[in-house]
């Protein structure tokens, strides 16, 4: 779950206010002290925290809030709004050029995730029916060009390279010309990183910028580096004038400092966040949704979007038919589990559901291993047994348990659950049928 510790502490601090009828200024101050500590411990920039707390307090102790029927909840709402403001209010999209190609310059320190993000971005744009071109401008690290080519191949996007003998400014210029000739409407330039910011790197990026005038200059920073990421962003911004930030590795145990400070310090928006190493794990950044997630209020919109992307409409229709005609089998069940896994790690998915806060998530004890065991049981059944589990007798149950490395009890439990689910499905369809009949004749 993103920013788990911060999330837990904020929910604790605000939870104390929520249930109460009347609040005094002292109550608010004491909760705000806790909020302040939580933010500082999450490595949020000191000045940002100070302004944030002042803004919340100013709004919270007004008579409108204090004299309302639910002052605690009003304060949670204020904190939510101010957290959203801190991260930039609303989603900030890419700038597309009215006359293609659009040029996106990727920059950042080594290891931040530039090359991976360039590939992820190309993947997103390709799926929006664009024709991106990736450009290899890192001529210093021997493996860099190859790495981009591998990424390009994986997402099926062409990569422009001129080896490591030309200078990056010339490569960028030639790439744009190449893109124009080949109908590429978006040129994504991957540049060299360094371990630290140095003059040479900045000069080179400035050179590329003035040659190809990018529509977007995206700085890629590693969220795990906290305030260092913010300092890097400040420097790149003052030298280069970045247009946005991509925050990577939010799937790790970043504390939240970078996400909550970068916008306020640089006045440049976070445009995307990296949620994993895989090339489809880049998401547009929505400050309001992130604020809700941090406060344990869920993120239903992102969940729906994920589901829409990963569920296969054709399969869903077939499944509905099967449910209606009671032909739902263990094979369909396996399919369902597979689709669910496509949504991402279970705790990340559950973390998007409102009302499930980080503490409850721990208590729920989501055990992905459980799903693996269920899958193993089903996979140990024969094709006939999956279609008609009623034929599974006691000796077969033993074999299935052995084959799947589980116990007979577990096999029995799964079979029972399956029978009951089917019964329930039948009741639903019967009910639906009888209601339809009534509608027709009544």
Summarize the chain as % helix, strand, coil (round to 5).
Answer: 60, 10, 30
Q: Which two tokens stand for residue 42?
A: 């999450």
114 is in an annotated binding site: yes
Residue 289 touches ligand GDP, criterion: CB under 6 A = no
Question: Are 114 and 191 within 8 A, CB to CB?
Answer: yes
Residues forming beta bridges with residue 88, ordered by sequence position: none
Cβ proximity to ligand GDP, 104 vs 400, nearer residue: 104
Interaction residues for ligand GDP, span 46-65 (CB under 6 A): none
192 is in an annotated binding site: yes
**For residue 129, what is the DSSP state?**
T
Residues forming beta bridges with residue 245, ordered by sequence position: 219, 270
- The single residue among 108, 257, 287, 351 that binds ligand GDP, judged by CB under 6 A, is 108
Q: Least distance from C-beta 152 to ligand GDP, angstroms?
A: 13
Residue 283 touches ligand GDP, criterion: CB under 6 A = no
**For residue 46, what are the CA distances in angstroms to 123, 234, 257, 267, 270?**
37, 15, 10, 16, 19
Classify strands 244-248 and 159-160 as parallel, antiparallel or unpaired: unpaired
Q: Least distance from C-beta 133 to ligand GDP, angstroms?
A: 18
Residue 72 touches ligand GDP, criterion: CB under 6 A = no
Respond yes or no on whether the N-terminal peptide bond of residue 101 is cis (omega within 30° of 0): yes
Cβ proximity to ligand GDP, 14 vs 107, nearer residue: 107
Furthest CA-CA distance within the chain: 82
Q: Give the helix/strand (H/E) hosting 270.
A: strand 270-274
190 is in an annotated binding site: yes
Residue 253 touches ligand GDP, criterion: CB under 6 A = no
- The single residue among 249, 255, 286, 293 that binds ligand GDP, judged by CB under 6 A, is 249
Beta strands in 36-118 (DSSP E): 102-107
Distance CA 432, CA 430 (A): 5
Question: Are 270 and 87 within 8 A, CB to CB?
Answer: yes
Question: Are 59 and 65 within 8 A, CB to CB?
Answer: yes
Closest CA to 252 of 270, 289, 225: 225
Cβ proximity to ligand GDP, 111 vs 354, nearer residue: 111
Q: Which stretch binds ligand GDP (CB under 6 A): 270-278, 380-388, 404-412, 431-439?
A: 270-278
Q: Which stretch binds ligand GDP (CB under 6 A): 40-48, 169-177, 269-277, 337-345?
A: 269-277
Residue 277 touches ligand GDP, criterion: CB under 6 A = yes
13 is in an annotated binding site: no
Residues forming beta bridges with residue 272, ordered by sequence position: 246, 284
How many residues of this chain interact with ligand GDP, rule: CB under 6 A? 18
251 is in an annotated binding site: yes
The sign of the CA dihedral 299, 300, 306, 310 is: positive
Q: Which stretch binds ligand GDP (CB under 6 A): 73-81, 268-276, 395-403, 419-427?
A: 268-276
Q: Least distance from C-beta 364 to ligand GDP, angstroms?
A: 24
Binding mask 203-242 for ligand GDP (x = CB under 6 A): -----------------x----------------------
Q: Least distance from C-beta 219 to ligand GDP, angstroms?
A: 11
113 is in an annotated binding site: yes
Residue 113 touches ligand GDP, criterion: CB under 6 A = yes
Judged by the rule CB under 6 A, the positions of this chain that interact with ligand GDP are 108, 110-116, 193, 220, 248-249, 251-252, 274-277
Pick out the residues of the known binding site for GTP. Answer: 108-115, 190-194, 248-251
């Amino acid at each position: 779950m993103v920013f788990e510790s911060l999330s837990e502490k904020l929910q604790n601090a605000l939870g104390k206010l929520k249930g109460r009828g009347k609040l005094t200024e002292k109550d608010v101050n004491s909760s705000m002290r806790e909020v302040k500590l939580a933010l500082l411990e999450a490595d949020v920039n000191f000045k940002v925290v100070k302004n944030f707390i002042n803004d919340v307090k100013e709004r919270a102790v007004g008579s409108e809030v204090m004299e309302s029927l639910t002052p605690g909840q009003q304060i949670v709402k204020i904190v939510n709004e101010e957290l959203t403001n801190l991260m930039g209010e609303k989603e900030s999209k890419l700038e597309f050029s009215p006359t293609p190609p659009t040029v996106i310059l990727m920059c950042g320190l080594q290891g931040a995730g530039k090359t991976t993000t360039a590939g992820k971005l190309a993947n997103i744009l390709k799926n929006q029916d664009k024709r991106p071109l990736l450009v290899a401008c890192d001529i210093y690290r021997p493996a860099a060009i190859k790495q981009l080519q591998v990424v390009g191949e994986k997402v099926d996007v062409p990569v422009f390279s001129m080896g490591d003998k030309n200078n990056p400014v010339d490569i960028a210029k030639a790439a744009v010309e190449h893109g124009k000739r080949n109908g590429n409407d978006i040129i994504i330039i991957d540049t060299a990183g360094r371990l630290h910011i140095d003059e040479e790197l900045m000069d080179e990026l400035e050179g590329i910028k003035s040659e190809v005038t990018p529509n977007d200059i995206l700085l890629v920073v590693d969220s795990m580096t906290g305030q260092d990421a913010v300092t890097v962003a400040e420097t790149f911004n003052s030298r280069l004038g970045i247009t946005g930030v991509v925050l990577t590795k939010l799937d790790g145990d970043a504390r939240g400092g970078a996400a909550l400070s970068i916008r306020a310090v640089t006045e440049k928006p976070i445009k995307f966040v990296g949620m994993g190493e895989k090339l489809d794990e880049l998401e547009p950044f929505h400050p309001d949704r992130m604020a809700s997630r941090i406060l344990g209020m869920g993120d239903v919109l992102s969940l729906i979007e994920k589901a829409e992307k990963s569920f296969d409409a054709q399969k869903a229709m077939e499944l509905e038919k099967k449910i209606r005609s009671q032909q739902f089998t263990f094979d369909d069940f396996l399919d369902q589990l597979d689709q669910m896994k496509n949504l991402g790690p279970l705790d990340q998915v559950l973390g998007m559901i409102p009302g499930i806060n980080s503490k409850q998530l721990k208590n729920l004890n989501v055990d992905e291993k459980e799903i693996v065991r269920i899958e193993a049981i089903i996979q140990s059944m024969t094709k006939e047994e999956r279609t008609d589990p009623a034929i599974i007798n006691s000796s077969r149950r033993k074999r299935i348990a052995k084959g799947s490395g589980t116990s007979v009890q577990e096999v029995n439990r799964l079979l029972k659950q399956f029978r009951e689910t089917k019964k329930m499905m039948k009741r639903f369809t019967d009910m639906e049928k009888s209601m339809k009949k009534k509608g027709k004749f009544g």
